[in-house]
């Protein structure tokens, strides 16, 4: 299996190989490269999805798609930059997680998590899988809960930052399981998983794409996940609902533009990116990266964002933000 670094190099090479077939698809748009902001560090799920799209997109955009990482504050720094940018379709955000569905429920943001953006397309459903280190003493999640209830505040969990969707997921887990843990924020999913492997925390959370190489390498063990059904690549891992905990949270990844971007440009971008989504090269990349493709158009994606934002908001109102 290729490493994430090798796959990123492959994605870049693919983009160059496809660029020879570029054609001008619209006279007035785009006339220059389009940029997509990623609010998390290179190597995480959000970054990998953006680069997988960028590897194929030039064939259908008629221009390159440039990935820009601006990590920090659970993705909200990148989101603010896009929200504040001219609504012309040249600066996009890969969204659907912390910056749009979670952080705004924990604190006031300098943009509206939903209304500041115009949804374009959803590419991926990124399941959130809660993991132990390989040498953790618990055989399963139920054993961990039993131990944690006897030792409130003893154990620690990692997240991608206060108010991020991983924080929201683990906070909800603690609430529903009636346990108390210490929250240790890190800068991105891979950093939290590294802390788990290093013994600095007892639980961490990641997507299929983030955890798969570590599970395959025997470095971490998946315990449970927040989805309604099991992961297609981790079929033996039960959901929290299966274990009796009423938790359902889903991370999702797609492209949004600033609000008030002209509808004809949203349509052009959607149609181009839908061709990317259907392209065999993109499908193959998604399979290699363990990304679960889950298409939604602008209206559906907008509804999914609102639904998850409201669902997390209901949980935070009940249990607080710590």
The Cα 114–Cα 118 span in angstroms is 8
**pLDDT tier at 243 (50, 70, 90 boundaries)?**
very high
Same fold, 4-125+252-318 and 129-249: yes
The Cα 120–Cα 95 span in angstroms is 10
**pLDDT tier at 7 (50, 70, 90 boundaries)?**
low
In this prediction, residues 238-250 reach a mean pLDDT of 94
DSSP-assigned beta bridge partners for residue 119: 256
Judge contact between 222 and 204, C-beta under 8 A: no
What are the tens digits of pLDDT across the range 20-79? 444 334 458 999 999 999 999 898 889 989 999 999 999 999 999 999 999 988 899 999
Q: What is the DSSP letter of 275?
A: H
Cα–Cα separations (whole angstroms), residue 95 to 40, 85, 122, 219, 255: 11, 15, 9, 29, 6
The position carrying tokens 């009940």 is: 318
CATH of domain 4-125+252-318: 3.40.190.150
In this prediction, residues 93-112 reach a mean pLDDT of 96
Instruction: Identify the pLDDT of residue 201.
Output: 98
Instruction: Identify the pLDDT of residue 72.
Output: 86
Phi, psi values for residue 299, rounded to 5°: -70, -45
In this prediction, residues 123-144 reach a mean pLDDT of 96
Judge contact between 319 and 175, C-beta under 8 A: yes
Instruction: Identify the pLDDT of residue 22.
Output: 40
Phi, psi values for residue 76, rounded to 5°: -80, -20
Q: Is the pLDDT of residue 109 over 80?
A: yes
What are the tens digits of pLDDT across the range 139-171? 999 999 999 999 999 999 999 888 999 999 999
Task: Give the lowest-confidence range in 6-10, 39-43, 129-133, 208-212.
Answer: 6-10
The Cα 96–Cα 151 span in angstroms is 35
Copy the structure tokens of residue 51. Answer: 């680069």
Q: Which residues contact 95 (CB under 8 A, 6 or more apart)?
A: 79, 117, 253, 254, 255, 256, 305
In this prediction, residues 230-244 reach a mean pLDDT of 95
In this prediction, residues 117-131 reach a mean pLDDT of 96
Per-domain boundaries in the chain: 4-125+252-318, 129-249
Judge contact between 179 and 145, C-beta under 8 A: yes
Instruction: Identify the pLDDT of residue 14.
Output: 53
Cα–Cα separations (whole angstroms), residue 230 to 181, 218, 227: 25, 20, 7
What are the tens digits of pLDDT across the range 183-192? 999 887 889 9
Instruction: Identify the pLDDT of residue 23.
Output: 38
Q: Is 199 exposed, middle or buried (0-12, 13-18, 19+ CB in 10 A)?
A: exposed
Q: Where are the alpha helices (DSSP H) in 25-107?
A: 45-56, 58-61, 76-83
**pLDDT tier at 319 (50, 70, 90 boundaries)?**
confident
Judge contact between 294 and 252, C-beta under 8 A: yes
In this prediction, residues 223-230 reach a mean pLDDT of 95
Q: Is the pLDDT of residue 16 over 50?
A: no
- What's the mean pLDDT when you consider all of the chain? 91
Phi, psi values for residue 135, rounded to 5°: -105, 20
**In the chain, pLDDT over 90 holds for what percent of residues?**
77
- The CATH architecture that domain 129-249 belongs to is 3-Layer(aba) Sandwich (3.40)
């Amino acid at each position: 299996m290729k490493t994430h670094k090798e796959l990123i190099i492959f994605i870049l090479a693919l983009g160059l190989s496809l660029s020879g077939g570029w054609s001008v698809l619209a006279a007035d748009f785009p006339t220059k490269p389009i940029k997509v902001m990623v609010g998390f560090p290179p190597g995480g799920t959000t970054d990998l999805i953006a680069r997988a799209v960028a590897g194929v997109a030039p064939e259908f955009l008629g221009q390159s798609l440039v990935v820009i990482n601006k990590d920090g504050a659970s993705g909200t720094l990148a989101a603010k930059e896009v929200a504040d940018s001219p609504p012309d379709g040249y600066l996009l955000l890969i969204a659907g997680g912390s910056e749009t569905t979670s952080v705004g429920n924990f604190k006031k943001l300098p943009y509206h998590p939903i209304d500041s953006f115009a949804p374009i397309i959803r590419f991926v459903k990124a399941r959130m899988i809660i993991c132990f280190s390989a040498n953790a003493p618990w055989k399963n999640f139920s054993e961990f809960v039993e131990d944690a209830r006897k030792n409130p505040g003893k154990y620690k969990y990692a997240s991608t930052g206060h108010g991020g969707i991983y924080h929201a997921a683990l906070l909800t887990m603690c609430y529903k399981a009636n346990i108390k843990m210490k929250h240790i924020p890190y800068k991105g999913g891979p950093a939290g998983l590294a802390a788990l492997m290093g013994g600095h925390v007892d639980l961490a959370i990641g997507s299929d794409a983030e955890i798969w190489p570590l599970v395959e390498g025997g470095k971490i063990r998946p315990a449970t996940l927040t989805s309604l059904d099991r992961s297609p690549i981790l079929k033996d891992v039960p959901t929290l609902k299966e274990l009796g905990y009423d938790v359902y949270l889903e991370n999702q990844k797609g492209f949004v533009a600033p609000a008030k971007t002209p509808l004809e440009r949203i349509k052009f971008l959607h149609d181009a990116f839908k061709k990317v989504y259907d392209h065999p090269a993109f499908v193959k990349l998604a399979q290699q990266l363990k990304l679960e493709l889950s298409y939604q158009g602008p209206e559906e994606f907008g509804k999914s964002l609102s639904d998850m934002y409201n669902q997390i908001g209901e949980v935070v109102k009940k249990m607080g933000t710590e």
